[in-house]
Amino acid sequence: MTSTAGYDVERIRSQFPILQRELKGKPLVYFDNAATSQKPQVVIDALVEYYSMYNANIHRGIHTLAEEATAAYEATREAVRAFIGAPSTEEIIFTRGTTEGINLVAYSWGRANILEGDEIIISSLEHHSNIVPWQMLAAEKGAVLKVIPINAHGEILLEEYYKLLNPRTKLVSVVHASNSLGVINPVKVIIDAAHAVGAVVMIDGAQSTVHLDINVQELDCDFFAFSGHKLYAPTGVGALYGKRELLEAMPPFHGGGEMIKEVRFDGTTYNDLPYKFEAGTPNIADTVAMKAALEFINGIGKENIRRHENDLLQYGTEQLRQIPGIQIKGDVAEKVSVISFVAEGIHPQDLGVLLDQQGIAVRTGSHCTMPLMQCLNITGTTRASFAAYNTKEEIDRLVAGLHKAIKILR
C-alpha cells in the first residue's frame, strides 16, 4: 500500500481489527471517520483490561480496585489536559461528548449570564448541536440569535462577523472545523474579536481535535468541547475545557452524587472543580480507554498523521474533480481531511447505497447541518472523510465505485 514518506500505513492498519473485515465480499473501505473513527487494538484492550482487572466505582472507595480505577480515570484527565494544552486538570470536565459539552455551557453558563435582549452569535456552518441549545436558550431568555454568513465555498465572511459584534454580544459559539465540508474556521481571529466586545467564546472542537494541534491557552477560548469517538476512543465520552474563573462561577449542570461536598435537607455545598460538573457514576471504562487513544495518536505523531491525511485529501480531491458531474463542496485550501460532494442528477443516498454494495462506507445526507445545506442550496452531500489508516488505494476504489454507481444511476 502507498504510504506518505516515512509513514507506515500498513503497520497502522494492522492495529485496527475491523479493517480486516469484508463487506459484500470485498475488503472494507471505511471513509466515515468524520462520523466516528474506528478503534485500535490498544483501545479495545484498555476496555477489556478495565472490566477484567479493576472494575470499580471511582473516588468513593478505599479498597484497591476503587483506587486503581480512580487513578486510571484521573490519568485520562491529565492526558486530555496535555492533549489540548489546558493549564490544569481542574478545567477538564468529562462529558458524553461535544453535544453534552455545548449543552452544559448553554444550560449552566448561559442561563446564569444571558439576559433579555442579549445577543448570541453562531455561524452558518454549525452542527445542530451548536445551534439548537442556543435557540432554546435564546427563546427562554428573550435573547437574539445571530448567524455569521458564509461564501459559496463555505468560508465564514469575517467582515460580516465583525458587523454583528456589538456591546450586546454576550456569547460567540462556532465550530473549529466543519463536519460537513471540512472547512477550518479562523477561530483565533474570531475569538479575539469577540473578546474585544466583552463576549465569551465557545469552540466546537469535535472535528478539529483529532486533526489539528490544539492549545486552548494560545487560542484563548473560554470553552472548548470535543468527543472521544472522533479520535479513536470509544463512544459516549468526551471533554469540556473551561476557564477556571468561568467554571467556578457557574452553577452545576446535574445534581446528585459526586458533585457535592455536603448535603443537608436545608441546603447543599457543591464540590470543587472539576467534580462539580460530574454528577453520578461516570462512564469510567470508556474514559479510561480514551487515554489509550490519545497515546496512540501521540505515538504516531499528530503532525505525521496530519501530513498523511492531507496527502490523501489532495489526492482524493484531484481524483474526484476528474469525474464528470461531481462537484466538491467546501473546496478550499484550509480544511481537514473531508471531501463532501454532490453528483449531478443523483440523490446522495442512492450513491451511498451503491457504494456500500462495493464495500465502501461513506456518509450521505445533511450531516446534521441542515441550515448549511440550505445556504448551499442543496439537500445533502456524499461525504468521504479520511483517518490515519486510510490509503490512496482505497481512494482509487472509491473513484472506481463512483464511476460504476453513476453509470447505473444515470
pLDDT of residue 1: 58
Q: What is the CA radius of gyration of the chain?
A: 22
Non-local CB neighbours of 226 within 8 Å, separated by 6+ positions: 84, 97, 98, 101, 205, 206, 208, 209, 238, 239
- Kindly report, residue by residue over 65-105, the tens digit of the pLDDT: 999 999 999 999 999 999 999 999 999 999 999 999 999 99
Which DSSP category does 334 fall into?
S
Domain 9-30+301-409 shares a fold with domain 45-298: no
Whether 386 contacts 33, CB under 8 Å: yes
**231 by DSSP, 3-state: which?**
helix
pLDDT of residue 260: 83
Give residue 206's Cα distance to chain centre.
1
Grid cell in block for residue 13: 492498519
Grid cell in block for residue 26: 470485498
- Kindly report, residue by residue over 237-252, the tens digit of the pLDDT: 999 999 999 999 999 9
pLDDT of residue 43: 98
Q: What is the 3-state secondary structure (H, E, C) of 235-263?
A: CCCEEEEECHHHHHHCCCCCCCCCCEEEE
pLDDT of residue 410: 79
Q: Domain spans of the chain?
A: 9-30+301-409, 45-298
Distance CA 211, CA 309 (A): 8
Grid cell in block for residue 264: 443537608
pLDDT of residue 5: 60
H-helix segments, 3-131? 9-13, 41-53, 64-84, 98-104, 111-113
Distance CA 116, CA 39 (A): 45
The secondary element (H helix, E strand) that includes residue 190 is helix 187-196
Domain 9-30+301-409 class, CATH top level: alpha beta
Residue type, 399: V
Give residue 178's Cα distance to chain centre.
9
Distance CA 82, CA 295 (A): 11
Query: Could you read off the pLDDT tens digit of each residue along the chain, which spans 410 residues?
Result: 555 668 999 999 999 999 999 998 999 999 999 999 999 999 999 999 999 999 999 998 899 999 999 999 999 999 999 999 999 999 999 999 999 999 999 999 999 999 999 999 999 999 999 999 999 999 999 999 999 999 999 999 999 999 999 999 999 999 999 999 999 999 999 999 999 999 999 999 999 999 999 999 999 999 999 999 999 999 999 999 999 999 999 999 998 888 888 889 988 888 889 999 999 999 999 999 999 999 999 999 999 999 999 999 999 999 999 999 999 999 999 999 999 999 999 999 999 999 999 999 999 999 999 999 999 999 999 999 999 999 999 999 999 999 999 999 87
What is 45-298's CATH number? 3.40.640.10
Active site residues: 368
